[in-house]
């Protein structure tokens, strides 16, 4: 009995074991996701979705947008409405963005991320300039296993001073090709995102240009290049922890490696099948509010793997900081469908969220449900 007691006292706990292994691997423990949110093993996810009794994220062909058939266009709008309600996510093909541009930007991005850390850190994002390189982003107070490079279409010259922010692109020195590809890339994806914004407006039954006023020259949309290095402990960390995107919509490309997972209505995590010729689009928190909960901003996360690095590039469509956001009046009804959210200012919301990327908070950061009205 005495010997057993001794053993119990000296045997390391699971937590101590984990800490030791991480130290041996040189991994910062702040990457480790709490057990209930860890990825659930790969094998099940890789069996075809139909075999698991499920359906996958809809693929919508945009080819008819360029044609003259009204029926073709109406079909797209209907598919977008249905996907936004059922999934909050869809993929689009025949979107008109050049795949050559994508391969240029991917190659340049991979070369950039391969630079030594001290080089990349010369253009590091800060709490006052939210664009540039960054390697220690927190999602749900856990460090993401990724590196990012963020940039915007143009410098925001007349940015409201009370936010103590300025958006000034920081380009790595001597990499003209990188900068050139990035600039072409954001222009092309920005154009596509406006097309999708029009389709979303139509799908909600409002004027196709309804949302444009929020996305004038002083919009705060951000293009991101993501690099997820291969990881020796993919079961313990996430490339990005579960989260919802806070903007209007996100337009993303991913390479063939895969790892983006979306939480389906039944709670199951569904892997988005990578397609080089597709953009993955999801409606964000603002679309949820505008639609008065007809559409949902859905949780998603990124799983990493042991064997391959992964590249993705999301464009976050964010409005002007002056924008006030509230459910669209014509979609509400005082009796049958009262507004589910109080009006709030995008600038205050986003600034609060940006600050939480830098500070480790004991509580969840600001979410749209904090503006919900309990009818
Ligand atoms: O890399 C991805 O596939 C998704 C990234 C993402 O969800 C995000 O950055 O908000
Ligand atoms: Fe996201």
pLDDT band (50, 70, 90) for residue 18:
confident
> What 3-state class would DSSP assign to 254?
strand
> What 3-state class would DSSP assign to 177?
helix
Residue 347 has pLDDT above 80, yes or no: yes
**How many other CB atoms are found less than 10 A from the CB of residue 27?**
18
Does any ligand 1 atom lie closer than 6 A to the CB of residue 226? yes
pLDDT of residue 2: 46
CA 181 – CA 105 distance, rounded (Å): 5
Q: Is the ipTM of this complex over 0.85?
A: yes
pLDDT of residue 78: 98
Identify the nearest ligand to the CA of 238 by its number.
1
CA dihedral 32, 38, 41, 47 (to 10 degrees): -140
Pair 308, 249: CB distance under 8 Å: no
pLDDT, mean of residues 7-31 = 81
Pair 220, 348: CB distance under 8 Å: no
Please name the residue whose Cα sits nearest to atom 1 of ligand 1. 312
Helices of type H across the chain: 2-10, 14-25, 43-46, 70-86, 99-113, 117-120, 176-203, 285-290, 346-356
Summary mean pLDDT of the chain: 90
Give CA angle at 346 (345, 351), nearest 5°. 110
Q: How far is CA 242 from CA 36, 39, 178, 305, in A?
A: 12, 10, 30, 17
Pocket residue to mutate for ligand 1, from 88, 147, 252, most atoms within 8 A of Cβ: 252
Domain residue limits, the chain = 28-322
Digit-coded pLDDT (tens) for 215-257: 998 899 999 999 999 999 999 999 999 999 999 999 999 999 9
CATH class of 28-322: mainly beta
Residue 119 has pLDDT above 70, yes or no: yes
Who wins on pLDDT, 169 or 5? 169
Residue with tokens 């909960």: 293
Residue 130 is given by DSSP the state -
Q: Across-strand partners of 146?
A: none
Does any ligand 1 atom lie closer than 6 A to the CB of residue 314? yes
Residue 184 is given by DSSP the state H
Nearest by Cα to 18 from 6, 27, 8: 27
pLDDT of residue 14: 77
Digit-coded pLDDT (tens) for 49-104: 555 555 689 999 999 999 999 999 999 999 999 999 999 999 999 999 999 999 99
pLDDT of residue 359: 61
Token pair, residue 4, equals 């057993």
Residue 146 CA: nearest ligand 1 atom is 1
Nearest by Cα to 276 from 53, 147, 132, 97: 97
Residues of the chain with pLDDT > 90, as a percent, come to: 71
pLDDT of residue 265: 87
Identify the nearest ligand to the CA of 298 by its number.
2
Does any ligand 1 atom lie closer than 6 A to the CB of residue 188? no
What 35-43 contacts at long range (C-beta under 8 Å, 24+ apart), as own/partner pairs, is: 37/140, 37/238, 37/241, 37/242, 38/235, 38/236, 38/238, 39/234, 39/235, 39/238, 39/261, 39/269, 39/301, 39/303, 40/269, 41/235, 42/303, 42/305
Please name the residue whose Cα sits nearest to atom 10 of ligand 1. 245
């Amino acid at each position: 009995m005495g010997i057993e007691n001794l053993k119990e006292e000296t045997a390391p706990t699971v937590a101590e074991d984990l800490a030791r292994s991480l130290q041996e691997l040189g991994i910062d423990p702040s990457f480790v996701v709490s057990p209930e949110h860890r990825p659930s093993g790969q094998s099940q996810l890789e069996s075809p979705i139909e075999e698991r009794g499920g359906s996958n994220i809809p693929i919508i062909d945009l080819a008819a947008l360029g044609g003259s058939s009204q029926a073709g266009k109406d079909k797209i709008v209907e598919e977008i409405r249905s996907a936004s309600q059922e999934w909050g996510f869809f993929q689009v093909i025949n979107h008109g963005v050049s795949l050559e541009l994508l391969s240029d930007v991917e190659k340049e991005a991979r070369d950039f991320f391969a630079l030594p850390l001290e080089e990349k850190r010369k253009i590091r994002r800060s709490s006052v300039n939210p664009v540039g390189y960054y390697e220690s982003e927190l999602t749900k107070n856990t460090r993401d296993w990724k590196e990012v490079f963020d940039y915007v279409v143009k410098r925001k010259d007349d940015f409201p001073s009370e936010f103590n922010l300025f958006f000034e692109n920081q380009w790595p020195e001597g990499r003209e090709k990188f900068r050139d590809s990035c600039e072409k890339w954001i222009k092309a994806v920005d154009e596509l995102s406006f097309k999708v914004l029009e389709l979303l407006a139509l799908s909600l039954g409002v004027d196709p240009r309804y949302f444009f006023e929020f996305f004038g020259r002083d919009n705060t949309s951000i293009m991101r290049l993501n690099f997820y290095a291969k990881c020796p402990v993919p079961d313990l960390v996430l490339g990005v922890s579960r989260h919802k995107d806070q903007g209007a919509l996100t337009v993303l490309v991913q390479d063939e490696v895969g790892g983006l997972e979306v939480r389906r209505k039944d709670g199951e995590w569904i892997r988005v099948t990578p397609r080089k010729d597709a953009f993955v689009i999801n409606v964000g928190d603002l679309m949820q509010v505008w639609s008065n909960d007809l559409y949902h901003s859905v949780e998603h996360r990124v799983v990493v793997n042991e064997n391959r690095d992964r590249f993705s590039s999301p464009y976050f469509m964010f409005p002007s900081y002056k924008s006030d956001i509230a459910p669209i009046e014509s979609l509400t009804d005082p009796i049958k469908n009262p507004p589910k959210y109080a009006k709030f200012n995008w600038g205050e919301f986003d600034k609060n969220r940006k600050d939480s990327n830098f500070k480790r908070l004991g509580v969840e950061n600001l979410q749209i449900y904090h503006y919900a009205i309990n009818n």
